[in-house]
Structure 1
Amino acid sequence: MTKTHLTSVAQYFTRELADEQYNPTLWTKRLPTEELLPKHIEFTTQNSDRYRARVGSGLSQINYGEGEFLGTMDVYRTEGISEDAPIVVYIHGGWWQWFSKEQFGFIAEPFNQQGFSVYMPGYRMATDWANDAPMESILKQMQFAVAEVLSFAAKNRVPAVYLVGHSAGGQLVSMLHKTDWSKLGVTQEGRQKLKDVFSIAGLFDIRPLVNSFVNDSIKMTKESSEEVSPLLSDFPPSQTLSHLHLIIPEFDTPEFFRQTKEYHAAVLNNQQECSIFLASKCDHLDVIENLLDSSNEVLEYMLEHMNILR
């Protein structure tokens, strides 16, 4: 499958339609549209501040990358979790231009409770890159981050590394899923540490966003959107990749559903393992808020697949 063989529905979208189809706050009845994002910010901020204060010395920070791709990762390794514990890497969303790793620290809590170390890499916002390829730069920065984790895992006999990303983070982990890690200096042992990848409410064809509110500040071109679209990027030749899980909230937008089903088919057509999981009775935002509930079905689904390989 190559880029030249894939047309985009974006060519049929007006700006008004793109803005509607790619704005998840318009598609849930949980709260009035104007209240959803403020409530989400309040929830994530309060719970992350609470957990970051609670873990104390169990929270540290490490550097990764080089040159303009330098960044930091928050490492949540609470008491009783050793350096050789399995690792969850969580990449936050926010349309590549909002939020931060600190705002989603609460995500570490349910995984720490299950004995996982949690690594949260920060990335420079798309609007802050002094070049004409901000989306590609964010991807490269995240490749440096995950390469650092995989190399650490190999050195410290960590049994498994799992990637979890939400929304924009879901797009990023889907691109990381098919990254050729040997080109970033990761040894074969390190590459084998990468196990299941979970894309929560992710997008896989970025082209429709070029003519939408998302791109007003990013200013990406059609060509740039193609370079960061999992649907359009090549799979590494002759490699069996980790199992990819596409988690879609029941109350997400029709376009998120269409893209999820389309990418699922594309991954399977390339003889790779891929599953779709419907997160019932939740929307684009509370699908991750609900992870604080130990009986949450999305959390249970991820832990089930992570525990198989521990």
Structure 2
Amino acid sequence: GTRFSSGPPVRGFLVAPAPRRRWPRRSPAASPQALEDHYSPSRWGCARAQTLLHVPYGSGDREKLDIYFPTDPSETFPALVYIHGGYWQCMSKDDSGFAAPPLVSQGVAVVAVGYDIAPEGHMDTMVLQVRRSLAFLAEQYPRIRGIYLCGHSAGAHLAAMVLSTDWTEFQVVPDIKGAVLVSGVYDLEPILHTYVNDALNMSREVAQRNSPMRHVPPAVPAACEVLVAVAQHDSPEFRRQSQEYSQALRAAGWSVSLLDLAGVDHFDVIEKLSEDSYLLTQVGSRAVPRQITCQEVQGQGLFTGCSSSQVILNMISRA
């Protein structure tokens, strides 16, 4: 596991100070009002998109999807599947609609995934639920012509686990064409002895079984494009894991880019998805000119060269 140079282990992993400003001290204990203030843009998704809310993909209370359809859908359309973060123990799909407006306006559906969270939910269950949600989409919504995963923090971990799925167990193979993994955790062992694991109660075996770094499958010809994004002001551990996971994907033959985002921290790196001009927002739309490409920085320098919507949207335009 990773050793930390000073302070309790969780500081090294989650709240290490950044060079120019301290890493924000938000936690699973944040007040409901603070979370509402921070994630109220979710309401914009409902107001500005045609939606299906609480669509069950299983029998559990949290096994539901919120689907935001394109404002002017074509016969078929791509879908961005968003998996929320929250230390695997807070937040929900209901806080995820903020990502919808700039994408649905460009012909892209947005699907927010609900899953069990700790302490009721266990890591094995969360991973299985997210995989099952993708199988459900593939079976029930044939108009979706390509699925693009997007996850933040714990959600990026779950999205990365989707990439390692053996779909023969599900009798369906979702058409996953891309993945945008934002400030994710790809090796769970370093958090075993932090407060984050108090609610998760993971053993070493569970952590290893659910660590994407340990389960990178060899790329097949149809393997999707992967964008691993990390914030300039993320903690050193998040930045290290993002670099090492992108290197592991590349070594296995995947098409992967590492995106180092300037001027943002672990939280506003994803919250800005509600802004049309934000760079990550545009990883999702067909409307972006093909000459706008994702810059691979490999840990050297910061990506500041184009608007954030241009990277999700451009990934779709290349498919």
TM-score range, shorter chain: 0.7 to 0.9
Q: 1:159 aligns to what SS in structure 2?
A: strand
Deviations 1:62-92 (A, max 9, x none): 21135x6971101111542256221110000
Query: Which residue in the other structure is 2:167 paired with?
Result: 181
Partners of 2:209 and 2:23 in 1: how far apart?
35
Deviation at 1:30, TM superposition (A): 6.1
Query: Which residue in the other structure is 2:288 paired with?
Result: none
Alignment of 1:204-283 (within 5 A): 204-235=186-217, 240-283=222-265
Correspondent of 2:45 among 44, 51, 67: 51
CA contact 1:150–1:194 (8 Å) conserved in 2: no
Q: 2:140 aligns to what SS in structure 1?
A: helix
How many pairs were matched up?
288
Report 1 or 2 for greater relative contact order, CA contacts < 8 Å, sequence distance ≥ 6.
Answer: 1
User: Would you say 1:72 and 2:64 are equivalent positions?
Assistant: yes
Query: Which residue in the other structure is 2:155 paired with?
Result: 169
CA contact 2:157–2:185 (8 Å) conserved in 1: yes
Query: Which residue in the other structure is 1:306 paired with?
Result: 316
CA contact 2:219–2:254 (8 Å) conserved in 1: no
CA contact 1:59–1:78 (8 Å) conserved in 2: no
Partners of 2:57 and 2:261 in 1: how far apart?
33
Task: Write the letter of the residue equivalent to 1:282.
Answer: V
User: Would you say 1:23 and 2:10 are equivalent positions?
Assistant: no
CA contact 2:178–2:315 (8 Å) conserved in 1: yes
Deviation at 1:32, TM superposition (A): 8.4
Q: 2:139 aligns to what SS in structure 1?
A: helix
User: Would you say 1:295 and 2:288 are equivalent positions?
Assistant: no
Task: Write the letter of the residue equivalent to 2:99.
Answer: I
User: Would you say 1:151 and 2:139 are equivalent positions?
Assistant: yes
Query: Which residue in the other structure is 1:284 paired with?
Result: 266
Alignment of 1:183-202 (within 5 A): 183-186=169-172, 190-191=173-174, 193-202=175-184
Residues 269/34 of structure 1: CA separation in 2 closer, same or farther (3 Å cut): closer
Q: 1:160 aligns to what SS in structure 2?
A: strand
Deviation at 1:112, TM superposition (A): 0.9
Partners of 1:69 and 1:274 in 2: how far apart?
35
Deviation at 1:292, TM superposition (A): 2.0
Alignment of 1:77-116 (within 5 A): 77-82=69-74, 84-116=76-108
Task: Write the letter of the residue equivalent to 1:145.
Answer: S
Q: 1:22 aligns to what SS in structure 2?
A: helix
Q: Which ranges in structure 1 are unaligned for 5 or more consecutive residues?
A: 1-7
Task: Write the letter of the residue equivalent to 1:304.
Answer: N
CA contact 1:15–1:211 (8 Å) conserved in 2: no
Deviation at 1:159, TM superposition (A): 2.0
Partners of 1:113 and 1:107 in 2: how far apart?
11
CA contact 1:13–1:208 (8 Å) conserved in 2: no
Query: Which residue in the other structure is 2:298 paired with?
Result: none
Q: 1:95 aligns to what SS in structure 2?
A: coil
What TM-score, normalized to structure 1?
Answer: 0.83
Partners of 1:181 and 1:281 in 2: how far apart?
38
CA contact 1:279–1:298 (8 Å) conserved in 2: no
Partners of 1:162 and 1:222 in 2: how far apart?
31
Partners of 1:221 and 1:35 in 2: how far apart?
25
CA contact 2:123–2:202 (8 Å) conserved in 1: yes
Partners of 1:46 and 1:93 in 2: how far apart?
16
Query: Which residue in the other structure is 2:128 paired with?
Result: 140
Partners of 1:14 and 1:250 in 2: how far apart?
21
Q: Which ranges in structure 2 are unaligned for 5 or more consecutive residues?
A: 282-309
Residues 268/34 of structure 1: CA separation in 2 closer, same or farther (3 Å cut): closer
Partners of 2:130 and 2:37 in 1: how far apart?
26
